[in-house]
DNA sequence: TCTGGGGTCCTAGGACCC
DNA sequence: TCTGGGGTCCTAGGACCC
């Protein structure tokens, strides 16, 4: 059953996990001092709470709550649209600070990092807790952000530590005390164990993280797959997950999906949504100099069931013109008339680097080169004048809706962007691109 | 958490080959 | 043609994460 042996590091590790507190809201408070001490919420563009400051959380505001309900709970809340660009800048600076302490920093997500501290006590002349505390202080004074930190023998334990006390917590879990942190922790709260596996374990009387950690190895090996065997070791203080330092440069897949309200039965509209997703996914792929060999298309119905198709492409590409054929084919396979759809999505998979795309004997190389030139120009214009200054005619039916949303009180900034692009396009006399190759 | 959007990794099972 | 053993590659789908 288990084919690959696990690699367990024999030397005890000191792994730190850092998690920013209410990250998006905290960034807003860091930039706008007048918001400090006030309940701040981001997620205006989605209509649900993406992040809530601790002042808002104290009033009962939780992630995912509808903004209309927030107003009842907390009428004085400051509700802002999420500004990912700004948050990313904070994120970059946070990682820079961490790298002053150790070269082994894993940027796990926009607001989380793992740091390998093993062996650093000597150079810092103090215990690991002290190093962690210094990091925390530096981030606070330089960026105005509060973070919670956990330090232990493995990534899974460090994560439990950083969650143990929030906000502004610092939890050190040495080997002898592991059991204290696991005994009251439901097994489903452990990083990597979801509701499904938790339910399975419950059937065998395993409900806490400690019970799981103390379960006989035979049971673990016979009844659970590799990821859970790894977690089991990590919980027992044996590190199997390394801190991955290299920044992620390449993707396995690129996907774009969008929900629209209200749901629609209109074939042309639904297809236009799909087409727009395809354009966005292709833009991202071209930015990373990647090309897809497989295309997945899916439609989500109102009842949240999906129907989807995967297609193999005759040659790796990130050019929508080449993909509209397969897209249409996939769409017609999945689409059922008179059905309400709420979301469409595409996935570009089997990504290879642009340089690797070779022409086959049957390709019309002149045509492909022409296409490459056209898209280079499209990408350049988009960079200058805004995304979707130029778009494919197939995506047109979504444009009307976008303007409508803008008018309905989308964030002023987005609306401005939308119209700025529009004006420039008109001034330049650029038509919506209709590519014929 | 009756439901955003973007990802990763693992496994079972079929197809195909010697 | 049948039987058996063994390997590799690929894909669908599950589970989980932020």
What pLDDT is attached to residue A72? Answer: 85
- What's the predicted TM-score (pTM) here? 0.82
- Measured from the CB, is A287 under 7 Å from any atom of strand B? no
Average pLDDT, chain A: 85
Residue range A121-141, pLDDT digits in tens: 999 999 999 999 999 999 999
- Residue A68 CA to chain centroid, in angstroms? 25
Taking each helix axis as running N to C, give the angle between helix A155-164 and helix A226-235, from 0 to 180 degrees, rounded to the nearest 10: 60
What pLDDT is attached to residue A427? Answer: 37
- Measured from the CB, is A257 under 7 Å from any atom of strand B? yes
Q: What is the CA radius of gyration of chain A?
A: 25
What pLDDT is attached to residue A420? Answer: 37
- Decide if pLDDT at A16 tops 70: yes
What pLDDT is attached to residue A234? Answer: 96
Kindly give, in sequence order, each residue whose CB lies less than 8 Å from that of residue A173, ignoring residues fewer than 6 positions away: A150, A151, A152, A153, A157, A158, A160, A161, A181
How long is the CA A314 to C1' B14 vector, in angstroms? 23
User: Per-residue pLDDT averaged across A431-435, rounded?
Assistant: 40
Residue range A346-386, pLDDT digits in tens: 999 988 888 776 666 677 777 778 877 888 787 777 777 76
- Strand, coil or helix: A130: helix
Rounded to 5°, angle at Cα A87 from A83 and A92: 150
A324/A120 Cα distance (integer angstroms): 54
Active site residues of A: 112
- Decide if pLDDT at A155 tops 90: yes
Among the ranges A76-85, A154-163, A426-435, which has the highest mean pLDDT value? Answer: A154-163
- Measured from the CB, is A286 under 7 Å from any atom of strand B? no
A408 pLDDT band, cuts 50/70/90, is very low
A92 pLDDT band, cuts 50/70/90, is very high
What pLDDT is attached to residue A189? Answer: 96
How long is the CA A122 to C1' B14 vector, in angstroms? 56
Lowest-confidence region among A22-26, A172-176, A302-306, A317-321: A302-306
CA dihedral A10, A16, A19, A20 (to 10 degrees): -160
- Measured from the CB, is A1 under 7 Å from any atom of strand B? yes
A5 pLDDT band, cuts 50/70/90, is low
What pLDDT is attached to residue A248? Answer: 67
What pLDDT is attached to residue A260? Answer: 87
Among A33, A62, A58, A30, smallest CA distance to A48 is for A62
Residue range A22-33, pLDDT digits in tens: 999 999 999 999
Lowest-confidence region among A55-59, A109-113, A198-202, A418-422: A418-422
Among the ranges A33-37, A333-337, A420-424, which has the highest mean pLDDT value? Answer: A33-37
Q: Which nucleotide is nearest to A109 (CA to C1')?
A: C18
- Decide if pLDDT at A167 tops 90: yes
Q: Where are the beta strands (DSSP E) in A194-280?
A: 253-264
Measured from Cα to the C1' atom, the residue closest to C17 is A192
- Measured from the CB, is A46 under 7 Å from any atom of strand B? yes
How long is the CA A206 to C1' B13 vector, in angstroms? 30
- Decide if pLDDT at A409 tops 50: no
What pLDDT is attached to residue A432? Answer: 41
User: Per-residue pLDDT averaged across A99-107, rounded?
Assistant: 95
Kindly give, in sequence order, each residue whose CB lies less than 8 Å from that of residue A166, ignoring residues fewer than 6 positions away: A19, A21, A148
What pLDDT is attached to residue A393? Answer: 77
How long is the CA A293 to C1' B16 vector, in angstroms? 22
Q: Which bases of chain C are under 7 A from a protein CB atom?
A: 11-12, 14-18
Give the residue with greater pLDDT, A2 vs A302.
A302
What pLDDT is attached to residue A63? Answer: 86
DSSP strand pairing (A341-349 vs A253-264): antiparallel
Q: Where are the beta strands (DSSP E) in A92-195?
A: 105-109, 112-116, 147-152, 170-172
What pLDDT is attached to residue A361? Answer: 67
- Decide if pLDDT at A276 tops 50: yes
A400 pLDDT band, cuts 50/70/90, is low
Q: Which nucleotide is nearest to A229 (CA to C1')?
A: B10
- Decide if pLDDT at A425 tops 60: no
């Amino acid at each position: 059953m288990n084919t690959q042996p696990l690699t367990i590091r024999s030397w005890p590790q000191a792994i730190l996990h850092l998690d920013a507190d209410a990250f998006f809201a905290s960034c807003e408070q860091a930039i706008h001092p007048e918001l400090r001490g006030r309940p701040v919420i981001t997620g205006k563009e989605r209509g649900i709470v993406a992040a809530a400051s601790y002042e808002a959380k104290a009033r009962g505001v939780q992630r995912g709550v509808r903004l209309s309900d927030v107003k009842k709970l907390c009428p004085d809340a400051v509700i802002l649209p999420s500004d990912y660009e700004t948050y990313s800048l904070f994120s970059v600076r946070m990682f820079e600070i961490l790298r002053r302490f150790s070269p082994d920093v894993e940027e796990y997500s926009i607001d989380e990092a793992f740091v390998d501290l093993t062996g650093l006590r000597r150079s810092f002349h103090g215990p690991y807790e002290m190093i962690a505390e210094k990091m925390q202080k530096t981030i606070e004074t330089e960026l105005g952000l509060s973070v919670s930190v956990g330090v232990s023998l493995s990534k899974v334990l460090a994560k439990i530590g950083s969650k143990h006390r929030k906000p502004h917590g610092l939890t050190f879990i040495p080997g002898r005390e592991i059991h204290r942190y696991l005994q009251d922790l439901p097994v489903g709260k452990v990083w990597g164990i979801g509701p499904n596996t938790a339910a399975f374990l419950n059937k065998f009387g395993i409900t806490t993280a400690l019970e799981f950690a103390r379960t006989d190895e035979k049971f673990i090996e016979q009844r659970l797959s590799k990821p859970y065997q790894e977690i089991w070791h990590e919980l027992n203080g044996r590190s199997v997950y390394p801190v991955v330092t290299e920044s992620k440069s390449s993707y396995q897949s690129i996907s774009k999906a969008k929900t629209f309200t209200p749901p629609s039965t209109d074939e042309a509209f639904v297809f236009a949504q799909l087409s727009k997703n395809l354009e966005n996914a292709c833009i991202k792929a071209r930015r990373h100099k990647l090309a897809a060999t497989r295309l997945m298309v899916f439609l989500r119905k109102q009842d949240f069931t999906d129907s989807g198709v995967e297609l193999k492409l005759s040659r790796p590409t990130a050019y929508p013109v080449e993909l509209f054929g397969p897209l249409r084919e996939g769409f017609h396979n999945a689409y059922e008339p008179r059905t309400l759809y709420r979301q469409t999505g595409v996935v570009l998979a089997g990504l290879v680097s642009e340089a690797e795309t070779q022409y086959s004997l049957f390709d019309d190389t002149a045509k492909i080169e022409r296409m490459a030139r056209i898209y280079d120009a499209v990408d350049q214009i988009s960079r200058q004048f805004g995304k979707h200054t130029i778009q494919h005619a197939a995506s047109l039916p979504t444009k009307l809706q976008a303007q409508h949303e803008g008018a309905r009180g989308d964030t002023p900034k987005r609306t401005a962007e939308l119209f700025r692009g529009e004006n420039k396009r008109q001034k330049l006399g650029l038509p919506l691109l209709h590519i014929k190759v």
